[in-house]
Chains A and B, each alone.
Chain A
Amino acid sequence: MTRVLVRRFGGLMMVLLSVSTAAFVVLRLTGDPVQMMLPPEQTTAEQVARLRHQLGLDQPVWVQYAQFLRNLATGDLGASYRYGTPVAPLILQRVPATLELAGAAVAFAGLVGVPLGVVSAVRKDGTADVLASGVSFLGVSIPVFWLGPMLILFFAVRLHWLPTSGIGGWRPLVLPAITLGMYPLAQFARLVRSEMLDVLGEDFVRTARSKGLSELAVIVRHVLRKASLSVVTLVGLNVGVLLGGAIITETIFAWPGLGRLIVQAISFRDFPLAEGAVVYISFITVLANFAVDLSYTLLDPRVRST
């Protein structure tokens, strides 16, 4: 067991290293940061050369890469070109808002999506199933960048129930969380439905029923517990999407999260900031998947032995 975990962890570190390298290469393909920082009309070649030297961009690429790796190993992500301050605090400053939004979105998706899936499975082919399937079907078809503005239009602009943007308290969080949570909600509902339909026919469910448990207890304690394995996997897969993929939701609601930070960093060619943020998000994603693997052992005793 321990050996498996160690090997798995080593593999994850390899993934992380490769992601950092990919970020390094991809960003350097996007263009020259010096040209973004100095307006070309009023700068001399000397100024360009000096800035280039200051940023270490006059070095050969492989020297820059070695430096990048050395810094990364010591946890130093460098200084942002744009802000001139260390990258790590700039990223960490955005983390609470990002986690708040991601957490609220997952909570919304789980609290609505899982019951929706349960109802669908228990009342298979009934009216409730058709309605719930319809909702989950629409959920995967509605683009985030349409849903967000529509929610703003109705609940903020027309009805004045909630603010269009802002941060602090639950009110500004509601619309972004629904926007970001709609897709995972639909995924949860579909997954829970199909998993439960598989499990409902199994022997241990009949046993649980025959020993006189209430239908609710059978579903919550036996069926859902078995189905929870794949739900947890789905949550893990969604962590990366919710952190890095919240870019659109963050842009619509002017939410000060990581996604927007990265987009701004890329368009400014702020290499250290963009690299740092990509590495950070990948790290969390990889860690989340690792945690998912670990949680299997808690949810399914059979996995422990392997």
Chain B
Amino acid sequence: MKSLAESSAQLSAVAAHAATRQPRARRWLLPVRAWLGILLVGVFVIGGVVAPWLAPHPPQEQQIALRLRPPAFLEGGTSGYLLGTDQLGRDVLSRIIYGARISLSVSGLATLGAAGVGTLLGTLSGFYGGAAEQILMRLVEVQMAFPYLLLAIAFMLVVPPNIVNIAIVLAISGWVVHARVMRVNALALRGQEFVVAASAIGARDHRILLRHIAPNLLPTVTVLATTQIAQFIIAESALSFLGVGLPPSMPSWGNIMNDGRQYLDSAWWIEVFAGLAIILATAGVGLLGDWLRDALDPHLRV
């Protein structure tokens, strides 16, 4: 006969096992989605980087004799043009591959700008408070009430449309998200014991900010930035749609879709495949972001 202590120890071991089982199953589930995200993002990033070697044709090469050909796997398709050709006989697949390069650089650059400015201003205003904080928060409110597409349209009417300016316009619309979240986070961190302790032993502000505050903000910045890249991929194409994006000759995803929309009835493949590229890239980044949020900062709500 087992002693009472023995069986109770066994019971608690069983209970402990039962308690750990669910989280372990979930931990195993998450990477599947995360891997899908990494795979999708990886395909687009690598595809964009090695575009000149990967693309079967130069993106601007026109074969007027082969214009509006359907994808190679369909009836009437031409081999060598896997996803068909557009109205000027350009290879849709090659343009989408080069589009990854353009669209991802624009959204990556814009996210760097938005996260940099927003995090800096938000953190400083949360940490120091005072008049600067009040001004910043009013600015954020104003920008949130101002229709951002209009700001973008007005801005793009003034500056030449190139990758840097598009990135700037997106960053202008996106920095407020970072500023708001970072202000609250810095505010919360400022009152925490380790920060108070650091300042009590005489650490200077810049040391506290860099050594104690910044490392704690990093997970949140990463998650916010990932979510934002996905939004910017779509926003860049939206600007093209409204006619204030990159010059029509550049094969950005938005421009390819603009071409495609005019031939939607006769040549659906241009619009469909360019759209799928955007959806897959956005979804990939989104999956990655969800996983990062769960892994780094479970309490964050974006």
Contact = CB atoms under 8 A, between A and B. Distances in A.
Interface of A: 11, 14-16, 18-19, 22-23, 26-27, 29-31, 125, 137-138, 140-146, 149-150, 152-153, 157, 194, 240, 243-245, 247-248, 251, 262-263, 266-267, 274, 278, 281-282, 285-286
Contacts, number: 112
Nearest to A283: B145
Interface string B106-150: 000000000000000000000000000000001001101111011
A22 B138 CA distance: 13
Contacts of A247: 149, 242
Interface string B286-302: 11000000000000010
B154 A153 contact: no
Contact of B283 (A31, A138, A150, A153): A138
B261 A149 contact: yes
A285 B144 CA distance: 9
The majority secondary structure among interface residues of chain A is: helix
A142 B275 CA distance: 8
Contacts of B157: 30-31, 266-267
A282 B145 contact: yes
Given A22-B142, A31-B158, A141-B286, A146 B275 contact: yes
Interface stretch (B182-190, B195-203, B206-214, B233-241): B233-241
15 contacts: A19-B142, A26-B151, A29-B154, A140-B230, A141-B230, A143-B278, A144-B238, A145-B257, A149-B271, A194-B301, A245-B149, A247-B149, A262-B150, A266-B150, A266-B157
Contact of A240 (B145, B261, B268): B145
A93 B140 CA distance: 31
Given A248-B242, A263-B153, A18 B278 contact: no
Given A251-B242, A267-B153, 14 more contacts: A16-B145, A18-B142, A19-B142, A26-B154, A137-B283, A142-B275, A146-B275, A153-B265, A153-B268, A194-B301, A240-B147, A248-B238, A278-B146, A282-B147
A141 B37 CA distance: 13
Contacts of B141: 11, 15
Chain A CB within 10 A, most for which of B146, B147, B157, B261: B147
A146 B278 contact: yes
A26 B156 CA distance: 11
A27 B154 contact: yes
B85 interface: no
Contacts of B257: 145-146
A291 B223 CA distance: 31
B87 to A, nearest CB: 16
A263 B150 CA distance: 7
Contact of B154 (A18, A30, A140, A146): A30
Contacts of A142: 275, 279
Interface of B: 29, 138, 141-142, 144-147, 149-151, 153-155, 157-158, 230, 234, 237-238, 241-242, 257, 261, 264-265, 268, 271-272, 275, 278-279, 282-283, 286-287, 301
A31 B158 CA distance: 7
B147 A149 contact: no
A15 B257 CA distance: 37
Q: Which of A11, A145, A244, A247 has the most chain B CB atoms closer than 10 A to its own CB?
A: A145
Contacts of B283: 137-138, 141
Nearest to B284: A141
Contacts of A26: 150-151, 154-155
A106 to B, nearest CB: 18
A242 B299 CA distance: 28
Nearest 3 CB-CB pairings of A with B: A244-B147, A146-B275, A141-B282
A205 to B, nearest CB: 19
Contact of A145 (B145, B146, B230, B237): B237
Contacts of B154: 26-27, 29-30, 266
A29 B150 CA distance: 13
A266 B282 CA distance: 30
Contact of A266 (B146, B153, B237): B153
Contacts of B272: 150
Given A137-B286, A263-B242, A157 B265 contact: yes
